């Protein structure tokens, strides 16, 4: 019997640039994660991705765990050596996604550095029109993370897909059906944007979801504004931030989203370093609880997962 609750799975990201992805998956596969997103930062370091994919799948074994999405983060619009490594990494991830069982590649759009956002659009169209066709030919979707990477509309180094006004411009330039978003509420809260209406408007473009949240200190904003010396927002692991993920998951379900929410750790100011996995396991339990699950009479089991994790 299929588990309808797992139409939305809860997993985590796993670093892959150094060749450690399969080992890490094996280390944490029994902690209750239902999916993994292996990700590369700027370069694959020349790894054989077909072989890496096989090792990741072997590390999962017969567990009910999926790899739906790979991450390739960097700036593929510029010409520095690492930028060109990122562009090649996108091509390699698209070509080898099937070895992981993945159907989506996620990352940043890239950006013409130090220029207003609109000045990146010609290069964006040139690069992503080609990559979108390459991905479509292989049945792969591309999802742009909505992270500003400390940029804004006037300037930045990494990504233009950080604002809904930019999404309108981007998808007008590249109307390909397989180009969409890797969405999370955190980056919208950093912009003081209400995330929930955004899900309803952009649902058909949300291909993957990151499990990351934020805490907005409204008292700091009222006293010091958002450009003072006092931080007004902190990125948080789900369960510690401001978002009601029951509402988020409900909106995603209403919109027909099926896929993974992969936790993006390493940002929480409290649950980090030696407390990193403490925070991630809490987020895993919290998100599973928000997702819900139906008790199967007489079985002692929940369709939503192990009741000990709820």
3-state secondary structure of 51: helix
Q: What is the pLDDT along the chain (310 residues), one digit of tens a residue?
A: 467 778 999 999 999 999 999 999 999 999 999 999 999 999 999 999 999 999 999 999 999 999 999 999 999 999 999 999 999 999 999 999 999 999 999 999 999 999 999 999 999 999 999 999 999 999 999 999 999 999 999 999 999 999 999 999 999 999 999 999 999 999 999 999 999 999 999 999 999 999 999 999 999 999 999 999 999 999 999 999 999 999 999 999 999 999 999 999 999 999 999 999 999 999 999 999 999 853 333 434 444 444 444 3
d(CA 189, CA 217): 11
The whole-number pLDDT of residue 307 equals 41
How large is the angle between the packed helices 164-173 and 121-136, nearest 10 degrees? 70
> What is the tens place of the pLDDT at every residue in 103-147?
999 999 999 999 999 999 999 999 999 999 999 999 999 999 999
Element (H, E) at 271: none
The whole-number pLDDT of residue 56 equals 98
The whole-number pLDDT of residue 5 equals 78
| Terminal-residue alpha carbon distance, the chain | 20
Residue with structure tokens 């929940």?
302
User: Which pair of structure tokens corresponds to residue 177?
Assistant: 């059906």
Phi, psi for 260 (deg, rounded to 5): -115, 150
Residue with structure tokens 């510690």?
240
Claim: this prediction has a pTM higher than 0.85: yes
Contact 25, 56 (CB under 8 A): yes
């Amino acid at each position: 019997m299929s588990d309808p609750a797992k139409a939305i799975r809860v997993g985590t990201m796993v670093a892959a640039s150094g060749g450690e992805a399969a080992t890490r998956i094996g280390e944490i596969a029994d902690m209750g994660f239902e999916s993994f997103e292996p990700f590369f930062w700027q370069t694959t370091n020349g790894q054989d991705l077909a072989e890496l994919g096989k090792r990741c799948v072997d590390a999962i074994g017969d567990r009910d765990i999926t790899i739906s999405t790979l991450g390739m983060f960097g700036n593929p619009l510029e010409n520095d050596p690492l930028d060109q490594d990122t562009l090649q990494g996108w091509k390699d991830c698209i070509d080898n996604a099937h070895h992981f069982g993945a159907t989506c590649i996620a990352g940043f759009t890239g950006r013409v550095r130090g220029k207003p956002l609109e000045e990146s659009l010609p290069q964006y169209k040139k690069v992503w029109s080609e990559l979108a066709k390459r991905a479509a030919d292989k049945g792969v979707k591309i999802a742009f993370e909505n992270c500003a990477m400390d940029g804004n509309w006037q300037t930045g180094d990494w990504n233009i897909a950080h604002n809904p006004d930019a999404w309108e411009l981007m998808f007008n330039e590249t109307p390909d059906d397989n180009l969409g978003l890797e969405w999370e509420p955190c980056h919208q809260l950093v912009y003081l944007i209400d995330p929930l209406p955004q899900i309803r408007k952009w649902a058909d473009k949300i291909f993957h979801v990151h499990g990351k949240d934020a805490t907005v200190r409204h008292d700091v904003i009222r006293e010091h504004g958002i450009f003072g010396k006092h931080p007004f927002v902190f990125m948080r692991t789900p369960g510690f931030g401001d978002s009601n993920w029951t509402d988020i998951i409900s909106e995603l379900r209403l919109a027909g989203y099926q896929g993974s929410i992969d936790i993006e750790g390493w940002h929480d100011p409290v649950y980090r370093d030696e407390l990193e996995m403490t925070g991630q396991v809490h987020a895993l339990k919290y998100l599973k609880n928000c997702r819900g699950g139906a008790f199967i009479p007489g079985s002692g089991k929940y369709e939503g997962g192990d009741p000990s994790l709820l």
